[in-house]
Structure 1
Amino acid sequence: MNVNVDTLRELQSQTYNPRSVEPAATPYETYRTKEFGGQHLSECYHENTKNVAHDRFRLDRSITYFLTDDSVAFAVSNIDPEYDGRPLVDLPPPSSLDCSLSDALGARRSVQQYDGTGLSPSTLSTLLGHSFGTTGTSVMGRDADGDPVEKPVRAYPSAGGLYPVEQYVAVVNGRDGLDPGWYHYTPGRHGLRRLGVDDGPVADRLDELFITADSMDLQSAGAVVFLTAAFWRSRAKYGERGYRHVLMEAGYAGQNLLLAATGLGLGAVHVDGFVDRAVEQTLGVDGVDESVLSSIVIGSPRVADR
């Protein structure tokens, strides 16, 4: 038998040497790569929400439909979640903010510790009204009698004026008649509808919903505002691109709330560390057609944090 000794030694080396295992990438290494990988769902999302030429025909049809039939855009943008049998709790008119925009921008900080002071109906009204409430109307067209058809508009931009972002309020500590509880804010009526959540103190439920609860003083906060998205409102007109519009709108609306809180001398912080499905179950949304996007905790800051 003719044996090539060099080849045999090479095979033995490959056979018996320990197998090389590539260690998992550290977060720092992931940061340094500056690129997506094929396994990243975020890359799939971004690619599938790009405006591309082959989708132009369908988008032209849907967008044209909304532009030529004013009643469609008016109806879609004015659809609110239905809470049958849950009476509207009217809020007083919002008060003026005695703070300039430049001062609010300069003073805004993330505050996570609060002194337990409850929110009054007036304060909550000012927060919600300036952040999410209607600020006027826009003429959509004319009805059969020639009278103008108007649509309410808000203080933040919304693609196509469809307003797919909804606002839910968990009042932790209230005063002057504002009861702790779970509410949905109705901008067109500037009021709250109480949700059917009755599982003990609001703060205790919030502690279960937030995975970062140990880093915040939720028991002493005034309220937590959850922003959800009814994706279909935007998707009906803009297709997959509508998903981006919804995310941007939530950012615009959330910044309004952060600045309004600063203008009132309150502390606020955007918190993303919640358990999505648990929040959605609490709010009574299905997590698909309407799903939670973000939350903002608001309260009177502790003296040391002011």
Structure 2
Amino acid sequence: MDYAFEAEGLVKRFGKTTALAGVDLAARSGTVLGVLGPNGAGKTTAIRILATLLRPDEGRAEVGGLDVVKRAADVRRLIGLTGQYASVDEDLTARENLVLLGRLLDMGRARAGARADELLGLFDLAEDAARRVSTYSGGMRRRLDLAAGMVGDPRIVFLDEPTTGLDPGKREDLWRTIRSMTADGRTVLLTTQYLEEAEALADDITVIDHGAVIAHGTPAELKRIVGGLTIAVRAADAEGARVAAKVLRAVSGSEPAESGGGALTVPVDTAGALTEVTRALDAGGVEVAELSLRLPSLDEVFFALTGRHDEREESAA
């Protein structure tokens, strides 16, 4: 299989702390690999090894077919890296930042300027190119930081929690930008704590906890870890809810559970159960406000794997 990057058995220790305990990672060319895990799971350490900023104590890793230890300088020419915090110079304008990076990458002045203008347009910053970065909003800075990582036109891009600290609207803007990176065949490794971010962007997801991989697969495959399908019914009135509960009990053989908003849910074995429920509700004259068949949420998967819900929910509790 054509892997843009691949790591096997990565181990990294910092004193008595084992940050990575035999991690395997791989991404097919032109895809997004989401690396999901709580704070301290080892996500950033893994990225730093792939980006040649750290050496593994054990294991091996290749990026673009090149060993990250033996050919570190060559690997750096292939990759772009955006960390958790903005790394641009606030005293310079956006354009000056990008031109400076181009010059540091041995581009001529004209080429560096042309590349800067191209990226400012791509990341929707052209109208603000002459403004000092210190006047930018958080979302604009993150877009500029992504643009900075793209100056060298890398085919492989490492994004370490790029939307940390952004409000939901700004995150959605950045998601669109990240999706555009793979449109022309780039490969992206995205680390995140946001469950919906991994589901929205990643072709495959690797879940890391306490320095070890605890699951890997597509979002749909991971959802199957929790088990089965769920039918949810929310009736328009109390009498309808009583009949709906009876229907769900008969079809599934399970006692319905009440979820948020008054919906009744039951686990089912096959998608065909939805047809049975629909017919029975119609025959019983039940008016429904919601009727759905779904896999478990990624949040439920994360809880099943780690015993913890999304950390943002815990902090808000």
- Structure 2 length-normalised TM: 0.23
Tell me which protein shows more strand as a share of its residues.
2
For CA contacts below 8 A with separation 6 or more, give which structure has more relative contact order.
1
- Structure 1 length-normalised TM: 0.24
Indicate the structure (1 or 2) with the bigger Cα radius of gyration: 1
